[in-house]
C-alpha cells in the first residue's frame, strides 16, 4: 500500500519559473490537502479538496493553484516562483469529513523540498 | 475558529525518564485531537487521536495522551523516553461542529539525551 506519494522529492527553481508538484493517494480518501512547512512555523494550509472537482483556499493560497480531476490526484501548481515559496511542501489525505466519522487522521506524503533562487 | 498551541519549541529529557509534550487547543464546539511525529526528512506520521470516550488515549510506540476538557489540553506523554523518540511532534485539532480541516501547532522538537 503506497499511501500518499509526492513527486519530486527535491527541486530548485529560478525566480519566475513555474512547476507542478504531484500528489497521488491510493486509499480512496475524499479529503486532500496541501501544506507548506517553514522552520518554527508549523504547517500552513495552502489548498484543500473535499472531493473530485471541488477545491478551496486555505490559509496561504497566494501564488498557488490546484485541481482535483480525480479522487486520487491533487497536483499543486506554482506560477511565477518567488523566493518566499522556498519551503517544504506536504500533501496529505484523510478518509472522511463526515460529521461523526471516526477515521479522521491524515496520511502524509514524504514531502517536496523546493528552493527558489 | 480553531487553533492549537504548543508552548515549548524544544523539550529535553534524559533517556529512561518520563516525557511530556504540551498542547492546548481552542474550538467553538467539541474537538477531535491528534498527535503526529516527524522524523528528519520525512512526512508526518500519525501517533494517536482523541475522538470520544476515555480521556487517556494510547497510541503507537508507547505514547499516550490525556484529554482534559476543563484545561483544553491534550498533552503527549511517555513513561520512559528512548533516544529514538527524538523527533518533531505536532498537535492538531479539528472542531467536530465546524471545519473538517485540521489545524496544526508549530511543533515541538523532542531531544532525548543518552
The tens digit of pLDDT for each residue in B17-60 reads: 999 999 999 998 888 899 999 998 888 999 999 988 889 999 98
Question: Nearest CB to A110: which of B43, B103, B107?
Answer: B43
Q: Which among A42, A90, A111 has CB closest to B107? A: A42
Asked whether residue A100 carries a pLDDT value surpassing 50, the answer given is no
Whether B45 and A58 lie within 8 Å, measured CB to CB: no
Kindly list the distances between the CA atom of residue B25 and the CA atoms of A4, A76, A94, B31, in Å, as whole numbers in the listed order: 28, 29, 21, 8
Beta strands in chain A (DSSP E): 4-7, 10-13, 19-25, 31-38, 42-51, 54-57, 64-66, 76-78, 87-94, 106-108, 112-116
Residue A1 has pLDDT above 70, yes or no: no
Residues of A in contact with B42 (CB under 8 A): 110-111
pLDDT, greater one: A82 or B53: A82
Q: Chain A 59-78, CB below 8 Å of chain B: which residues?
A: none
Mean pLDDT (chain A, rounded): 91
| pLDDT confidence tier of residue A26, bands split at 50, 70 and 90 | very high
Give the SS3 label for residue B105. Answer: coil
Q: How far apart are the first and last CA of chain A?
A: 36
Residue A34 pLDDT > 90: yes
Asked whether residue B100 carries a pLDDT value surpassing 90, the answer given is: no
Question: Residue B52 corresponds to which cell in the numbers above?
Answer: 470520544
pLDDT at A102 over 60: no
The stretch A76-84 carries a mean pLDDT of 95
Cβ–Cβ gap A41/B44 under 8 Å: no
Asked if omega into A8 is within 30° of 0 (cis), the reply is: yes
Which pLDDT does position B98 carry in this prediction? 67
Q: How far is A14 from chain B (nearest CA, A)?
A: 23
Q: Give the model's pLDDT for residue B38.
A: 94
* Chain B nearest-CA residue for A9: B41
Residue A97 forms contact with B (CB below 8 Å): yes
CB contact under 8 A, A104 and B94: yes
Quote the pLDDT of residue A97.
53
Whether the predicted pLDDT of A31 surpasses 50 = yes
Predicted pLDDT of residue A39: 83
Stretch among A41-50, A63-72, A74-83 having the lowest mean pLDDT: A41-50
Amino acid at each position: 500500500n503506497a499511501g500518499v506519494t509526492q513527486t519530486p522529492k527535491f527541486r530548485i527553481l529560478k525566480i519566475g519559473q513555474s512547476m507542478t508538484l504531484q500528489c497521488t493517494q491510493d486509499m480512496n480518501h475524499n479529503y486532500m490537502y496541501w501544506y507548506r512547512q517553514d522552520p518554527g512555523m508549523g504547517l500552513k494550509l495552502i489548498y484543500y479538496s473535499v472531493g473530485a472537482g471541488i477545491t478551496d483556499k486555505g490559509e496561504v493560497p497566494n501564488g498557488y493553484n490546484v485541481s482535483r480531476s480525480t479522487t486520487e490526484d491533487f497536483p499543486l501548481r506554482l506560477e511565477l516562483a518567488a523566493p518566499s515559496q522556498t519551503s517544504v511542501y506536504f500533501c496529505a489525505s484523510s478518509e472522511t469529513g463526515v460529521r461523526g466519522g471516526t477515521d479522521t487522521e491524515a496520511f502524509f506524503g514524504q514531502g517536496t523540498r523546493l528552493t527558489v533562487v | 475558529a480553531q487553533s492549537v498551541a504548543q508552548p515549548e519549541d524544544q523539550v529535553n529529557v534524559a533517556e529512561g525518564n518520563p516525557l511530556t509534550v504540551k498542547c492546548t487547543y481552542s474550538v467553538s464546539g467539541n474537538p477531535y485531537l491528534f498527535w503526529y511525529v516527524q522524523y528528519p526528512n520525512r512526512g508526518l506520521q500519525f501517533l494517536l487521536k482523541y475522538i470520544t470516550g476515555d480521556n487517556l488515549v494510547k497510541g503507537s510506540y508507547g505514547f499516550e495522551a490525556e484529554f482534559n476538557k476543563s484545561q483544553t489540553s491534550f498533552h503527549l506523554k511517555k513513561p520512559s523516553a528512548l533516544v529514538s523518540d527524538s523527533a518533531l511532534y505536532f498537535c492538531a485539532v479539528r472542531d467536530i461542529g465546524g471545519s473538517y480541516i485540521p489545524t496544526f501547532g508549530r511543533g515541538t522538537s523532542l531531544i532525548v539525551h543518552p
